[in-house]
Structure 1
Amino acid sequence: MDQPATGSVDNETTDQSYADAEARSARLEEELRTDPGAHRMLTGDRPTGPLHLGHYFGTLHNRVRLQDTGIQMFVLVADYQTITDRDSPKSLPQDVDALLADYLAVGIDPERTTIFAHTQITALNQLFLPFLSLVSVAELNRNPTVKDEVNAAGQTAMSGLMFTYPVHQAADILFCKGTVVPVGKDQLPHLEVARVVARRFNRRYSRERRYFPEPAALLSEAPVLLGTDGQKMSKSRGNAIALSATADETSRLLSRAKTDSERRITYDPANRPDVSNLVLLGALCLDRTPESVAEEVGAGGSAALKSLVAEAVNERFRDIRKRRAELIADRGHLRRILAAGNERAREVADATLADVKRLMHTDYPIG
């Protein structure tokens, strides 16, 4: 029973539907309202380009909201994972600075949130190896999110690190015993791997007392925000509007956004996904319902819709962009914030690894 699966899919990986995740997310929201201090949240991003509106409405605004409730929050700068599908660039230090500036500009507070970098937390990465023993090649091969990311990056072959990316992400979540991970629908397969790893580790090494919690998804109100080409908004696809974009850049990008030939604007995601995506983006920025935004534009057509959305985006992000410009001008300050977060994360990771070694009987003395 303790051996990892070797071919067939077990119930652990097949009984998770989006409806299950939604129900769990709803229960989690209630728990966070009543006792936020009982949970730890792990989230983060790869420093492979500027964060964009999809990131903001998918996870960033949730991070700030949850931070403000008092939840224990860890935000990862996943610099090691930049090499899953590319070479580590000379620009990496500057890319990390830019990511930190994005985080701080949207309201992530380093006094209340631990911001840390993969490459600086040795104990976290050491968890990766035992966790790999808990999943099968067949299970990893079925992960649709990894395949989508490989295709989006235009790769002809998948690296071993990309293939095992979900297990590395499990180490990210479990090193701090994370219970909450804010994600969109497309990231649920990754999170399910972390749940399986926690479950199997407990079953194999910690039967008497469950050591790792099974993390749950906290689903955002806009799980998938489309880019200007009608596909999922993504840094790798070049179809995103960056948080750092100027007002003119935003207007120009939105003017090229894909729509349709019908003049009257309606909110109908199933039949009019491109138009409805713009309506939704405007509604999110204005804190209104998509239906009310569509009704306001009415027969004004795509040009009027794009104008409304551009104005809404630029107004919503005006202060964030101003704050970001101030932050990126002081890189020393950004590095000091990251160093402090790394130290806090190191303490947590060292304690978790010590426990894992004890439970796995690999903490025996030498000499």
Structure 2
Amino acid sequence: MSATAAPPFDPRDPLGIDDLLSDEERAVRDTVRRWAADRVLPEIAGWYERGELPVIRELARELGSLGALGMSLEGYGCAGASAVQYGLACLELEAADSGIRSLVSVQGSLAMYAIHRFGSEEQKREWLPRMAAGEVIGCFGLTEPDAGSDPAAMRTRAKREAGGDWVLDGRKMWITNGSVAGVAVVWARTDEGVRGFVVPTDTPGFSAPEITHKWSLRASVTSELVLDGVRLPAGAVLPEVTGLKGPLSCLNHARYGIVWGAMGAARSSFEAALDYAGTREQFGRPIGGFQLTQAKLADMAVELHKGVLLAHHLGRRMDAGRLRPEQVSFGKLNNVREAIEICRTSRTILGANGISLEYPVMRHATNLESVLTYEGTVEMHQLVLGKALTGIDAFR
């Protein structure tokens, strides 16, 4: 057996994870990375500082041209990409900013996914091609002011009238894309259980005031949805699902993207710290030459690349049709939690410069505080895993 020399050690890929990817997967990753570098990174600090995403409609159309919207869905103009390809795209988008990845996740993994999986053929044909192209932005109305982790407590109500129309009343809160959406997937209580509705946002009685004064996800549109006697035809209801299994399955798909995306934010922060440690001098030498700094960098690298391996493993399981919701909870819980710690540790290496928007670290850290909460809080995912491990339901 002939000996083969090991390739050089790569500080950006210390485990050689890139070797696990196919040429097509690398091409997807590199395409999204270049787009983010060209279109997002030059402007993101300013957008974040001003609390705006002024070109969201333009970005949506460009992302549609890349095939990044509804990326893993089949047909209706969607790319039909693999779960791993979609995950790699999420990682690169969140390496730019969590708000950009949220735009894509809500569009594809929540609004489009709900219509694709539970909608009628008419609903699919009407909305999915335009959403895949980024011509129409979608949002997903589940969370309410008094119903976050407990969606069964939602108060939004849909009543069926004698002629077959539905009338919706209620409020939704913390809805990404809401103020710019052309269509909303809204979940409401009915006499037969929770149902989903496809709501054109120009329907009388629908409004979506934007939520301001945020200190996280500032380069993202976040809104309240107000439904005041919104009248919809019978064909507006998603026909293929009744009950909370509908919205929860959509959330599971979105959480999968977060497993990858959080590692993008972590990578960006880690690489900023690694570069800084090599150039910042104190006491006559680069701070990367001190033991305490090297210990921080080593610990961050271990958690970062463990997280990427975990995301990769879950992606392969999803592509094989073997991924369970509990495994997605495992990934979301671990990767977001570790990503925040990587950002915080990176900030300590950058010192006072770590709070400056000239570096991405504090922006990623504050964004991840929202990511830690949405699509299931830490506590909810701990209880999902606790139930799976013990067989005992501790939610109530």
Instruction: State the TM-score, normalizing by the size of structure 2.
Output: 0.25
Q: Which has the higher strand share?
A: 2
User: Relative contact order, CA 8 A, sep 6+: which one is greater?
Assistant: 1
Instruction: State the TM-score, normalizing by the size of structure 1.
Output: 0.26
